[in-house]
Amino acid sequence: MVIRNKLSLTTILSHSLRSIQVLGWVTTDNLIVEIRNFLMLSTLLLGDRLNVK
């Protein structure tokens, strides 16, 4: 389970970075939203990991 969560987290990070790269001209507001979404997903994954234990 831990490995699965690490892979998921890595996948989310790479997708976030890819979307930021594709939209290289994004405004600061969009970047903040992107980071906030990433943090929310990370928190959800961490919550799943804690619930599994």
Q: What is the pLDDT of residues 6-15, one digit of tens each?
A: 667 777 777 7
**Cβ atoms of residues 20 and 14 within 8 Å:** no
pLDDT at 1: 46
Residue 16 CA to residue 34 CA, distance in Å, equals 7
Q: What is the pLDDT of residues 1-52, one digit of tens each?
A: 455 556 677 777 777 767 666 555 556 677 778 888 888 888 877 776 666 6
Within the chain, where are the H helices? 2-22, 28-52
pLDDT at 10: 74
Token pair belonging to 11: 């996948």
